[in-house]
Amino acid sequence: MTLLIVDTLTKTYATADGPFPVLRGVSLTLEAGESLALTGESGSGKSTLLHLIGGLDRADAGRIMLDGQDIASLDDAGRAALRRGTVGVVFQQFNLIPSLKIADNIAFQARLAGRHDAAWCATLAERMGLTDHLRKYPEQLSGGQQQRVAIARTLAPRPKLVLADEPTGNLDETTAATVMDMMLELVAETGAGLLMVTHSQVLAARLQRRLHLRAGQVA
């Protein structure tokens, strides 16, 4: 079953030097449970594409069908609902809520989505090796630990699609490998699709498919 269809998507940003086309007719598809790596140089439009699919930004033209729903037709509230329930985003900068304890951070998105499952959250924490840190605050954890919290938070509401934007970009090689192992394992278990932006060819190779972007187009 096709989870995601992106069809001739374009996006242009206004810059001081005039309009800058970031995406120029990008098309792709993703099946349910499939993982896809998006690679490309800096400025090739990878993150922009991820933001558009996640409903964080609006495309100028083209179509995004996610789980049978056209994202372009959604208003702000509709796209917010999409982010709550259908999509989970793992950011490079972790973006945990600094004033909430780790346990609350893990459960947070599931609570927002109204799908909080304490047992599942506990499982995620255990699988991510966070059980001893649940009563701590994010600032008391290392970068690798914080990213594991962010992944657990993303998976807590069991999203249909996980979007990951350079999820290990801030981590050392060893830690990055560990975190990736955990993420891929859990995503596969939940049956979610995974679309991951990465510079690393090594990480990209671990996903089922790879798509290379160059100057806003699929190479």
Contact positions vs another protein (CB under 8 A): 51, 54, 56-57, 76-77, 80-85, 89, 91, 95-100, 104, 108-109, 111-114, 137, 139, 142-143
Nearest alpha carbon to residue 141 among 113, 84, 108, 179:
179
How far is the C-alpha of 160 from the C-alpha of 85, rounded, in Å? 8
**Nearest-approach distance from CB 178 to another protein, in angstroms:** 18
| Alpha helices (runs of H) in 60-192, residue ranges in sequence order | 76-85, 102-113, 118-127, 143-155, 173-190
Q: Which is nearer to another protein, 35 or 105 (CB)?
A: 105
Nearest alpha carbon to residue 33 among 202, 187, 153:
187
**Nearest-approach distance from CB 179 to another protein, in angstroms:** 17
Q: Which is nearer to another protein, 120 or 204 (CB)?
A: 120
Q: Which is nearer to another protein, 46 or 204 (CB)?
A: 46
Q: Which is nearer to another protein, 29 or 170 (CB)?
A: 170
**Nearest-approach distance from CB 86 to another protein, in angstroms:** 9
Q: Which is nearer to another protein, 19 or 114 (CB)?
A: 114
Cβ-based neighbour number of residue 202 at 10 Å: 11
Nearest alpha carbon to residue 22 among 4, 48, 52, 3:
48
**Nearest-approach distance from CB 72 to another protein, in angstroms:** 16
Three-class secondary structure of residue 193 per DSSP: strand
**Nearest-approach distance from CB 205 to another protein, in angstroms:** 28
How far is the C-alpha of 21 from the C-alpha of 62, rounded, in Å? 14
